[in-house]
Amino acid sequence: MALFEQYRNGINLGGWLSQFSATRKQHFETFIQEQDIRQIAQWGADHVRLPVDSNVLEMQSAPYGSNEAGLAYVDRCLQWCEKYHLSVLLDLHHVQGHIYGEMDKPVPLFTEPTLRARFLKIWANLTQRYKGIGKNLAFELLNEISDASSYQWNQLCADAVKKIHQIDSRRIILIGSNEANSIFTLNQLAFSDEPNLVYNFHFYDPMLFTHQKAHFSQDLRDFNATVHYPGEMKGFPTYLATHRQYISKFYRTAWEETNDKALMQKYLTNAENFIRFTGRELYCGEFGVIKGAPEEDAVQWITDLTASLDTLHIGHAYWSYKEMDFGIVDEFSQVVRPQMLKVLFPNSRV
Q: Looking at the DSSP assignment, which residues form a beta bridge with residue 232?
A: 258
Of 19, 27, 24, nearest to 92 by C-alpha is 19
Give the DSSP H or E segment for 50.
Answer: strand 47-53
Q: Which of 58, 140, 179, 286 is catalytic?
A: 286
Q: What is the dihedral of CA 284, 302, 326, 137, to 10 degrees?
A: -30
Provide the 10 A C-beta neighbour count for residue 236: 23
From 58, 140, 144, 179, active-site residue? 144
CA atoms within 13 A on the CB side of 214: 18
Beta-carbon contacts of residue 209 (< 8 Å; ≥ 6 apart) = 227, 228, 229, 233, 259, 289, 293, 297, 301
Known active-site residue 257: no
Rounded CA-CA distance 75/190 in Å is 32
| CA atoms in the 13 A half-sphere facing the CB of 261 | 10
Task: Answer yes or no: 144 catalytic.
Answer: yes
Q: Are strands 47-53 and 9-12 parallel, antiparallel or unpaired?
A: parallel
Catalytic residues: 144, 286
